[in-house]
Amino acid sequence: MTGGLMSSPDSPNAPALLQTPLHALHVALGARMVPFAGYDMPVNYPPGILAEHLHTRAGAGLFDVSHMGQAYLDGPDHAATAHTLERLCPADILNLAPGRQRYTQFLNEEGGIVDDLMVTRPVGADGALSLVVNASRKAVDFDLLRARLPANVRLTILDTLALIALQGPQAASVLARFAPDENIGAMPFMSARKVRLLGVEANISRSGYTGEDGFEISLPAESAETFAKRLLAEAEVKPIGLGARDSLRLEAGLCLYGHELDETTDPIEAGLNWSIQKRRRIEGGFAGAGRIQAALANGPRRKRVGIRPEGRAPARDGAEIVNEAGAVVGIVTSGGFGPSVGSPIAMGYVASDYAAPGAPIGLIVRGKTLAASIVALPFHPHAYYRGP
């Protein structure tokens, strides 16, 4: 969900990079480490990004996402906490059931996206909501929340927790071995619960950002390395770095903050209409509601689209998109090679008149115009577990 790589830590006056609880394990596994959102993070391991990507699609990939921001909102009851969050987010949090999770966005007063995040309503904790926000935006997000919290709702930053993602078609069977009495395999997509893993209490959700079935596991930082090593001892599991995480989410047509999402972009342009439930569309009452409701009624001026370049040359973020007359009609926000689809792929924004699948476009790459076309998203089908 979060933005691109940071400048080198060797540059003058660069701040020292933070480390996740799994940092020593990444180094021991031979990871190539890079600065990312203020952290020293693994971009890939010795097998390489292509192998890691394809393994996640076939087996189970272990991702360190401990750099993300975890927090807890706690109020006198669910309605009070939900209404507090709904002032900033367009999702229906009030009707979020216990044990369920929802994807939404923090919005500014103009309807632009401050960040995208996951919100979970824990079972048995009335008045509580747990949040996971992007690493590069967590300071902004938490300041925004603090400025808007009423006296009876408290924000707690959970900086003593690690977060591990286990993604891929074998993820459920692997994780179930660590909690055989919990019936983890029956959890539906976007559900969450508390379990004990190797004697440690953890919060797990059946979610992730690869397009595959999988889980995110929040557990005490001091237990993270032991648990990660036990997962990696399973034959189906391999460590996966940021490089494959990015190519997996791009194939799945999922937004990345700082690329598809920023403070000038609203959720309707981004194709996130589905994340705004009917009650909120009608009632409004959230930051930037006027812009969102107008875009829902009249359509946005531009739309996020999938792009398939012809040939083998990829188009990277920042490449201009032109129509058949050569006029600029949009810009690429993410692009690269899709290992599972075997060709270059990209996402970007174009004027709504050019957003229909099949529309021919050109991409300006190194001063040349490459032929491409608009395609439907995702590039690779989602494999979320919806139930038996």
Q: What angle do CA 300, 301, 307 make, to 5 degrees?
A: 90
- For 201, phi then psi, to 5°, come to -75, 130
Q: Is 256 left (phi over 0), alpha (psi -120 to 50) or beta?
A: beta
For residue 302, the tally of other CB atoms under 10 A from its CB is: 20
Give pLDDT, residue 13.
Answer: 64
Strands 237-239 and 60-64, how do they pair?
A: parallel
Nearest to 105 by CA among 286, 302, 356: 286
Give pLDDT, residue 387.
Answer: 79
For residue 109, the tally of other CB atoms under 10 A from its CB is: 10
Residue type, 378: P
Nearest to 168 by CA among 48, 241, 61, 246: 61
Q: Are 174 and 235 in contact (CB under 8 A)?
A: no
Q: Are 144 and 11 in contact (CB under 8 A)?
A: no
Q: Are 314 and 336 in contact (CB under 8 A)?
A: yes
Which two structure tokens, joined as six digits, stand for 303? 């739309």
Q: How far is CA 117 from CA 47, 137, 257, 375, in A?
A: 31, 10, 10, 26
The side-by-side arrangement of strands in the sheet containing 154-157 is 100-107, 113-121, 128-133, 69-74, 154-157
Rounded CA-CA distance 190/358 in Å is 32
User: With 0-12 CB in 10 A as exposed, 13-18 as middle and 19+ as buried, what is 82?
Assistant: buried
Spell out the residues 6+ positions from residue 102 whose beta carbon is closer than 8 angstroms to its own: 91, 92, 93, 96, 118, 119, 120, 190, 275
- Give the rounded distance of the alpha carbon of 295 from its chain centre: 24
First to last CA, the chain: 29
Give pLDDT, residue 12.
Answer: 52
**Mean pLDDT in runs of 10 for the chain (388 residues)?**
43 79 98 98 98 98 98 97 98 98 98 98 95 98 97 97 98 97 95 96 97 98 98 98 98 98 98 98 97 97 98 95 97 98 98 97 96 98 90
Strands 302-309 and 237-239, how do they pair?
A: unpaired
